[in-house]
Structure formats: structure tokens, C-alpha cells
Structure 1
């Protein structure tokens, strides 16, 4: 053994992550480091016997995903890291991140190497952060509509009183009415600027994509919106798929897109109107429909909706202002996720926005033979 080979073996043995080399033709490990015992609770030297039981611990929702990437790996086409879950009875599932390596030697022998890291703590931290952000953003949107509506009403009352007051009028009363009108207008503007700033800040941060159950992560903001429907003055409902559907999402950015679309629906739907969100599976995608029975969008304006500073922008029914950036940013974020967004609308009948994003795996594919052999 060369000094270099000995150095790398010593380095692998000292690692706190699982390092391994698997002979694809022989269907067996030829090297596993000592971290296997601590990280996977295995017995060193028994890894080939223990492999079938280890694979049985894969989360059922990850099987198609693992099969897809196993096929790519065995063909030397896999360069991305992969995250999978292992189940243990009575314990929270563990998250592992695999960094793969592929080599075909001069004799045609294929070796699959890699590093397996336990990232459970990081994943749970991320899940909690995403949960907090989803609730925060939905709550901010509810409060912004509720507070904006109250301030707009005060502004309109002040305007009405100013017009109806007899002339001559007490100068101090007129001044107070103007102050009330101006303060209400500025308050509405400040509230919307706060929400827009939150959306812009989220959109301009780095994309952090994780494979997630779309229904599970969208349930959180949708629950918040449904809880606040009485404050919003609308009938709000949503539906989610019965089975998990996985996609690669930046959860914070994508939930902001959903909330922005719901916010637009609320702006242009009269009080006591209906707004709904439906999440459903497609053949290779996830579809999200945001539906309202509001005032709709004129056909001439629909081609311009997703342009920056679009000429299709207009104030909401309660005087809500708009920057003309919201739908353009939604389109950008959806496209970052390799998806698409479209609109169908009929004036005075309502609008439906549809977002489609690809699933993270091709469902219904057979598990490749190589993976079946490793389970024997």
C-alpha cells in the first residue's frame, strides 16, 4: 500500500462520519470505517450481513427517491448530495446526507464510495425555522388586511365628515379631520410597505432547497389563514392531498408565494366572498390552485400580470396599494423551483392562479435490479 493510500485510509478511519466503499459487481462493502458503529449502531465487520436490515429502515416515502438516485449512481451520473431518512422503532427518524463517489477501474470493476453524515439536528432546526416563518408570514398578512381595512374605514369616514361639515366650520375640527385622514392613509401605506419588504427580503436571500412533503409544509400557513378568516371578512377554505407529495422547495420562499397569491385574492374579492386553495397531485408535478370569486381581471390586462411594475396593477377593493412587483416575484421564485405559474380569470366572476412544480422523484418507477440485489 502506498503512503498516499495509507494516509487516506487513516483519514477515513478518523472521521466521525461513515466512510465506505461498495463493490457493485460483488454486491458487498470492501471498506467501512469505525464511525459505522456510532452513527448507524452497526457492528464493524458485519456490515454486509446488516445491509438488508439497514435498507428496511428506509422511510417508505423515500424508497422511490432512493431508487431513482441509486440508478443514477450506478451509472456514474450522480453528483448531487442526497438526503434520506431512517426509521427506528419508538424513536424520531434520523436524517442522513450522502455525498456519493463513483469509480470504474481498468478491469471494469465499479466502486461506489461515499460519506454518510447524520444531519438530524440540522434538519429539525430547519423544520422549526420554516414552521416559525410560515406562521409569522401568514399572521402578518392577516394583520395587514385587518389593520388596513380599519384604517381605510377611518380615512373614508374622515373624508365624508370633512365634506358634510357645514361652512363655516370650526378650524380646529377641520384640522383634526385632515390629520385623521392623513394618519390613516400613512398607516395603510406603512403596513403594506412592511409586508412588501418582508416578501422582497425573502425573495432576495439565497435559495435553500430541501425535499419536503408539500401538503405538510403548506398546511401551516393555510391553517393560519383559515383561523384568521373572520378577521379577513371572507370565506376561506383549503384542501390537501390524502397522500404525501414530495418536491424540492425553499419552504420560506414558496410559502411566501402562496401567501402573496392569497393576499391578491383577498384584495379583489368583496367582503363575504370566497377564497380557496387546492393542492393536488399531477402526473409528474404538484399543482396549487388559488381560486376566488372576486371581480376578476380584464382579458386585456392578463398578459401583463407577471411583468415587473406591470401596467395591470390596480388598488384593491378597500384601497390597498400595490407596487406591481408581487406577481413578478412570484413568477421568478416559481421558476427557480423549475415550475410555472398561470392565470385564468373572468371579469365579475373570479380568478384562478395555478402553480405547478415538479415532484422530487419519478413515482411508479421500478426499483433497479442493483438495489434489489443489495437487499439480499
Structure 2
């Protein structure tokens, strides 16, 4: 029977991923495979001397994050993978995914092992895909609002002419106006169904959660919305925090939630009114507020807003239709992120929808100093 220890050691030595074992009692790395020299241009025999310089290359936003998990991993078998960035002079930073392992031998010695995979290419692909989706979804929403408004206006004019204009006997004008009304109504319905289908499709895919700076990733669709609404003559502003605030989110799904809430705000806000988005830190959370100066929501409707096919649904100020699914999908996606969504509104004074999601883990200030010593 082959020696399993030799088999796994051979497997580790030929791996293109960095694999290591850290002895907590000795406070040093007792094993690192040959991939260390290829990935980090170091020397295996000098890994402990090189470790402080390597840790200094950690992205400043990732140091407390990794230290927090390192402290947790020392308490028992780890369950979390983490992704961190290493800085490179004059080059894009490198992304690494650390998969940890834990073992305690008969003498009570605790060994922390791990595999470091370079995920830079995958992360940049994902970032570009998220960027494309954010811009695409914001643009679709703006175009749908613009086109819907035009078709609704044509429909209303056709209805007015049918009521106000007396056509000559045997004239085809009433029939033509009827065609205009029907075509405009069907076009608005088709546009909204397209947008709703996009939202439903996004909501029905598996979560792809990444630790991201929420203000940075949501700035992209917010910029797009601001530009589009300015063209349409509507007032839209947003604020993001000066310092990064990190949360674990599915960027594509969360962008759809934000766009949906902004779209709803515009539906019930007169052309002269303002819609604003504020992203801000809260105690242990990231808070996102969508504020409008619209007509508000009747108190009797508010308990039913987040129900499926809610009886609180109503057409927008410009005749926009609703399926009664948008807000329940927003609520579902927010809850998938272990968050909470709420509304505060008064008739004639506008509405504020507030989302709170947990921040990504940060350093536990109650942890013993020695728990994070290796990451200093």
C-alpha cells in the first residue's frame, strides 16, 4: 500500500499553489512548498525571515480583516476562506484566496496549514463583468423610463383626441387613434416586462458574494443614473463615504436592488422633485438610503409593501405599471445578504427606503495581542 504521507507531500511539492504549515507554538512556518519561490520570488529556506516583508505588502484595507480571521483560526478548525490583496510596485495588486486548515497533534501542538491560490485573473474578470452589468442595468432602466414616458404621452394624447375631436362620418381617424392607444399601451408593457425579466433573471441566479468596498462598486451605476436622469431633466444626487466600507455582497444583485429602488422613487416623484441616494457607515453595518420628494405612501399601504403581488401596488405618476414583485425581490435579495430593508414615508412628504447590511469582518479588539502578532 503506498505511503499516504509521501503521496500528499509529493502532491504539495508539485502544486502550482503555495502551501504552507505554521506552528503556533514555535511561531514559525515549518513547511512551505516550492511554489513559494515561483509565486513570491522568495527562498523556501528563508521563508520565516522573509515573512514580515511579505505581510507588509498586504493591502492596508485587508490587514485587520486577515488578522481577525487568523485569530479565529487559532481557536479551532477554520471554516472560512479569505481573499486578500498584495501590493506590487508599479503593477496591479495580486489577489490571493487563502484556504486554511487546522490540526492539533498528540502533544497539543497546533498547526495551521493553508493553500494560497493566485486568483488575480479571475477577480479582474469578475470586476469587469460586474462593471459591465452595473452600467448595462442602469442604462436599461434609464432608457425604459425615457421610452415609457414617451409612449405614455402618445397614449394620453390619443385618448384626449378621441374624446375631444369629432371625426367626419366614415373617417378612419378614430380607428387610427385606437391603434395609437393600443400600440403605446402594449409598448410600455413590453418595456417594463423586459426590465422586470432582467431583474427576475438576476435574482434567480446563485449568489456570487465578494468582499468589496460598497461605495466604490455602487458609484458606477449611481454615476450612470445621475447622467441619464440629468438628460431626462430630473434631479438625482448621491453621496458615498470618503473612506472605504467593506461588505460581502453579490455586486450584480445588489446593483439591481439599488436601481429598482431609485426607479420606484422616480415613479412617484414629480419632475421638479429630488431623488437622492446616501451610502454611509453605521454601527457594524453599511447603510444605504434612497430618499425622494415624491407623493409618499399612504400609511395603510405601508405594511403590505414587501408582500408578493402586494395590494399596495399602484401606477406611477406618469402611468407606469407595476407587477407587485419589485419590492419583494429587493427584500429577498437584501435578506440573502443577512440585511434588512425598511421604509419611512408620509403622504405629500416623500419616502425613504433604508437598507442595512453587515460590514465584512474587521479585527476583534477583544482578541489577545498574540493572536494577530504574525500579521504585524
Deviation at 1:78, TM superposition (A): 2.0
Whole-angstrom CA distance in 1 between matches of 2:260 and 2:52:
46
Partner of 2:308: 308
**Pair 1:8 & 2:8 matched:** yes
Summarize deviations over 1:79-132 as a string: whole Å, max 9, x none.
121100011111110000011000111101000011100000000000000000
Q: How does 1:53-64 map to 2 (within 5 A)?
A: 53-64=53-64
**SS of the residue 1:13 aligns to:** helix
Larger displacement relative to structure 2 (2-11 or 27-36): 2-11
Partner of 1:165: 165
**Pair 1:255 & 2:255 matched:** yes
**Pair 1:288 & 2:249 matched:** no
Whole-angstrom CA distance in 2 between matches of 1:286 and 1:329:
20
Whole-angstrom CA distance in 1 between matches of 2:226 and 2:46:
53
Partner of 1:175: 175
Partner of 1:36: 36
Contact 1:146 1:231 in 2 (8 A): no
Whole-angstrom CA distance in 2 between matches of 1:93 and 1:338:
30
Contact 2:68 2:363 in 1 (8 A): no
Contact 2:167 2:174 in 1 (8 A): no
Given the two structures, how large is their TM-score scaled by the length of structure 1?
0.97
**SS of the residue 2:310 aligns to:** coil
Partner of 1:97: 97
Deviation at 1:209, TM superposition (A): 0.2
Deviation at 1:168, TM superposition (A): 4.0
Partner of 2:243: 243
Larger displacement relative to structure 2 (218-227 or 156-165): 156-165
Contact 2:22 2:29 in 1 (8 A): yes
**SS of the residue 1:112 aligns to:** strand
Whole-angstrom CA distance in 2 between matches of 1:153 and 1:368:
66
Summarize deviations over 1:220-262 as a string: whole Å, max 9, x none.
0000010011344321000000000000000000000000000
Deviation at 1:175, TM superposition (A): 1.3
**SS of the residue 1:228 aligns to:** helix
Whole-angstrom CA distance in 2 between matches of 1:373 and 1:68:
11
Contact 2:77 2:101 in 1 (8 A): no
Partner of 1:20: 20
Instruction: Give the count of matched residue pairs.
Output: 375
**Pair 1:355 & 2:338 matched:** no
User: Are the structure 2 counterparts of residues 282 and 308 from structure 1 closer, same or farther at C-alpha, using a change threshold of 3 Å?
Assistant: same
User: Are the structure 2 counterparts of residues 375 and 99 from structure 1 closer, same or farther at C-alpha, using a change threshold of 3 Å?
Assistant: closer
Whole-angstrom CA distance in 2 between matches of 1:169 and 1:291:
53
Larger displacement relative to structure 2 (38-47 or 180-189): 38-47
Deviation at 1:30, TM superposition (A): 1.0
Larger displacement relative to structure 2 (24-33 or 119-128): 24-33
Partner of 1:202: 202
Aligned alpha-carbon RMSD (Å): 1.4
Deviation at 1:169, TM superposition (A): 4.5
Contact 1:210 1:250 in 2 (8 A): yes
Contact 2:63 2:375 in 1 (8 A): no
Contact 1:67 1:367 in 2 (8 A): no
User: Are the structure 2 counterparts of residues 103 and 364 from structure 1 closer, same or farther at C-alpha, using a change threshold of 3 Å?
Assistant: closer
User: Are the structure 2 counterparts of residues 77 and 169 from structure 1 closer, same or farther at C-alpha, using a change threshold of 3 Å?
Assistant: farther
Whole-angstrom CA distance in 1 between matches of 2:142 and 2:367:
46
Whole-angstrom CA distance in 2 between matches of 1:318 and 1:306:
22
**SS of the residue 2:208 aligns to:** coil
Contact 1:51 1:375 in 2 (8 A): no
Contact 2:67 2:363 in 1 (8 A): no
Whole-angstrom CA distance in 1 between matches of 2:169 and 2:371:
87
Partner of 1:130: 130
Whole-angstrom CA distance in 1 between matches of 2:155 and 2:28:
75
Whole-angstrom CA distance in 2 between matches of 1:372 and 1:122:
29
**SS of the residue 1:171 aligns to:** coil
Deviation at 1:67, TM superposition (A): 1.4
Partner of 1:226: 226
Partner of 2:88: 88
Larger displacement relative to structure 2 (139-148 or 227-236): 227-236
